[in-house]
Structure 1
Amino acid sequence: MNRREAVQRVALLVGGVLSPPLIAGVMGQVLNTGPSVATTAAQETLLAEVADIIIPTTDTPGAKAAGAEKFIVRVMRDCFVKEDQDKFYAGLAKLDADSKTKYGKGFIELSTPEKNEMVKQTMTADKPFFLRMKELTTVGYFTSEIGATQALEYLPIPGRFDGSAPYKPGQKTWAI
């Protein structure tokens, strides 16, 4: 099983236990009517790079190509309270600062193996940030047009319901 398949299976398994703000974000709802953290272009670029390490480009486009960072910014702004936004963006800043400490350059300038190492380090050093980032990236990717049509099997006009349709070897998971 490759990394892409593992992420797809996790997305399906996690589907029933996504956080309420994330579900609201997928539905396009706005839960946070209070103040929000203003994001910068540099933060969006950093989010795109981290998301692309979580779901890299393989035989299908990765999270960066799908624009997952735009989904993350919108959902954080519209569906999470300012305190949660502050914690999330502090975790993002810490990842970049840790990269500068360990390698002498920011996360964006690192090579792919160095980025992978920094994300692995963040998985244990700042688990709450990493879990939120992974959740947002996965949902943002698989609800994007690229994720739904190129990484998943997609039927734009569904036919009859067949509850026991067999999967063929190597067939993609169906998009919802």
Structure 2
Amino acid sequence: MSEKVNKEFWLGQLFTLLATVVGVYLAANSGFEKAIEFENLQHQRDVYHVQQSLLGEIQVNTERLQSWVDEFDKAPQSNSMSMQPDKYQLDTFFWNAAQEGSAIFEMPHQYVSGISAFYQRAEYLRSQLLSGNPFEAPKASEKLRHLTTDTRTQLLKNIQKHVTEQKQQLQKTGLI
């Protein structure tokens, strides 16, 4: 009789140990998957915020460029804009910060290329506008006007659509 109890005891212990190992494995695996999913959602949220901030910065910069063009066009030959070049600077904090992280690469490449081209072109035309050159400054003013219009109607509209889609996806998960 003691051998029968002994076999039942050890068989019960073996099943208990096996159930514990399988249970711990399944729980750890499920927890790991949830942790990865949560980390991915947090990354998507961070990318959304970076892109939203970058969008806001570009919108402010197009408004700023437009106001500079309007100011220049009031008196193209007698303005004092070239005397105060520091007053006419674009905000580039988010653009510069985005280049240091991976969030910018989550954005479609055509938008990143468009943003880069916008900043390069705007800076070049800004320097011509502020040069005081009576021949180049009026041309730069006209080109800046076209740049801001094109940026608003094409690039910003498309980026806004992309950011809105991201926001809707994040709202479904409850992170925003």
Band of TM-score, shorter chain: under 0.3
Instruction: Return the structure number with greater helix share.
Output: 2
| Larger RCO of the pair (alpha carbons < 8 Å, separation 6+) | 2
Structure exhibiting the larger radius of gyration computed from Cα positions: 2
Structure 1-normalised TM-score?
A: 0.27
